Amino acid sequence: MNEPVLAGERVFRIHWVLGTDRLRAVCHCAAQREFDEPVALWEWLLAHPDGHDTKP
């Protein structure tokens, strides 16, 4: 049975960048950033909208 992908206004995603030791954080506002440290990643995600520039 396939489970649905989470959706919503407060869903964060964290992806391991293949072939590296880095993590990519994706905020619910669509801002993305790569990190070496998980603590810094979570601080950035939870600080929304500070530092989240979603403009190209």
Average pLDDT over residues 36-55: 90
Q: Assess contact for 32 and 24: CB atoms under 8 A.
A: yes
So what's the pLDDT on residue 54? 67
Bond from prior residue into 49 cis (ω within 30 degrees of 0): yes
So what's the pLDDT on residue 11? 86
Q: Residue ranges of the domains in the chain? A: 13-46
51 has a pLDDT exceeding 90 = no
pLDDT tens per residue, range 1-41: 565 666 667 889 999 999 999 999 999 888 999 999 999 99
Q: What is the pTM of this model?
A: 0.77
Average pLDDT over residues 38-48: 95
